[in-house]
Amino acid sequence: MQSRNKKLNIAMVCDPIGENKSGVVVSTMRFGKLLKERGHHVIFIGARSKEHKDHSYHDDVKAYRYRSLPVPKSGGWHLAFPTVQQLKKVFLDEKIDVVHILLPMSGSIVAIKAAKALNIKIVAHSHSQPENLFMDMPKIIQPALGKIWNKYLAWTYGKAESLIYPTEMARGLLSKLSDPNQPSAVISNGINLKEFGPAKIGDFYERYGIPADKIKLLFVGRLYPEKSIDTLIKAIPQIIKEHPNTHVMIVGGGHLRPKLEKLTDRLGVRKHVTFLGLIDEEDKILAYNASDIFVLPSLAELEGMVVLEAMACGKPIVISDAEMSASRYFVDGNGFLFKSEDHEDLARQVSKLIGDPELRKKHGEASFANIKRYDIETSIGLLEEVYYLALNK
């Protein structure tokens, strides 16, 4: 039996580690950093890229990087292709106790084979939905692609001693892919309350050319089809008709940006929107604090880390009531839901908050109170328990 006082050697496998700001990459890096702070030895397994052509470090955590291929329209994702022998050597040299699969991509397949060959325990994390991958595809083939992907997930997850889901909704969606006797746990990605919270914004407006005297709506995320950002943009004419002192900030990168910019031009709302692009973590915290209302029109979220970040900064939230989005469950006296892909309903819900400063304040305070349930330190403790249970299985 492994003692829960024993510090562990953990390999976290996430092909695009450090390459973009997607939720799974950010979550992996946050977990790795905090596990290291608790005394565990952590390494990342990822892909080489133009920015990282060899092994590198992120928050003092070493990332082993291997030959790769770029993923089209992914915003910088690469598939890693290490050999089994390469990973077996790393796992032996680093005395790895647990291999933690964060993304079921090519690097994970090799890591699973290497771990099995060395009798190393495997933990698999649910961070993927078919909607994240196939919404750019013709609708007629999306169901078939989803079935193929789910079969692949079932194969991957079936190799693990334990599964981790970020929400109960995620477990409900994906539990049918796993053995009912396979241990599983629900662990929020969590939020570091030492980093995210109310803060002075300094010269943020000036640096990004944002009007300071407006009510600011904020979206943060990848500019991808499943995020449904066009729904927010289509709502702007109705919003500014009633509240002309409104401005929208869109933070994030992705292949849809040119199309979304053209949409703002076509609707005549370009001057009411600022695309900030990819920004660093410090500026992202300032963006939350520089906003008045956070909006997430996304159609698919297994949790929604950006909602946690907005709540930690004390912001009211307006969230799509999409069937495949767990983010809707964060709305609890701190904002409103709107009908999925319905820009008119989005405008109505946002307008309630724009027109009532006291309501914005009340819902923002509720967000700040609710976020305490999602402290990342709690998530790290639960993650450690999963590791120890896998080792003792």
pLDDT digits (tens, 9 = 90+) for 289-324: 999 999 999 999 999 999 999 999 999 999 999 999
Identify whether residues 364 and 381 lie together within a single domain: no
Question: Do residues 375 and 190 touch, judged by C-beta distance below 8 A?
Answer: yes
- Residue 309 CA to residue 268 CA, distance in Å, equals 31
Q: Is residue 195 in some structural domain?
A: no
**Residue of 358 and 138 predicted with greater confidence:** 358
Identify whether residues 367 and 384 lie together within a single domain: no
Residue 65 has pLDDT above 60, yes or no: yes
- What pLDDT does residue 135 have? 62
Identify whether residues 209 and 352 lie together within a single domain: yes
pLDDT bracket for residue 21 (50, 70, 90): low
The domain that holds 329 is classified in CATH as: 3.40.50.2000
Identify whether residues 49 and 167 lie together within a single domain: yes
Residue 227 has pLDDT above 70, yes or no: yes
Q: Which amino acid is at 101?
A: I
Domain count along the chain = 2
- What pLDDT does residue 2 have? 58
Identify whether residues 72 and 94 lie together within a single domain: yes
Lowest mean pLDDT among 152-156, 270-274, 287-291, 358-362: 152-156
| Predicted model pTM | 0.91
Closest CA to 48 of 26, 15, 90: 15
Q: Is residue 97 in some structural domain?
A: yes
Identify whether residues 114 and 213 lie together within a single domain: no
Q: Is residue 199 in some structural domain?
A: no
Residue 165 has pLDDT above 70, yes or no: yes
Q: What share of the chain has pLDDT > 90, as a percent?
A: 74
Can you give the residue range of the structural domain that contains 54?
9-190+375-392
Question: Do residues 86 and 94 touch, judged by C-beta distance below 8 A?
Answer: no
Q: Is residue 1 in some structural domain?
A: no
Identify whether residues 69 and 109 lie together within a single domain: yes
Average pLDDT value for residue range 351-362: 97
Identify whether residues 382 and 370 lie together within a single domain: no
Identify whether residues 208 and 142 lie together within a single domain: no
Q: Is residue 240 in some structural domain?
A: yes
Identify whether residues 324 and 209 lie together within a single domain: yes
Average pLDDT value for residue range 160-173: 89
Q: Is residue 196 in some structural domain?
A: no
Q: Is residue 346 in some structural domain?
A: yes
In sequence order, the 6+-apart residues with CB closer than 8 A to the CB of 171 are 126, 165, 184, 186
Bridge partners (DSSP) listed for residue 185: 164
Q: What share of the chain has pLDDT > 70, as a percent?
A: 93
Q: Is residue 2 in some structural domain?
A: no
Identify whether residues 176 and 240 lie together within a single domain: no
Identify whether residues 360 and 380 lie together within a single domain: no
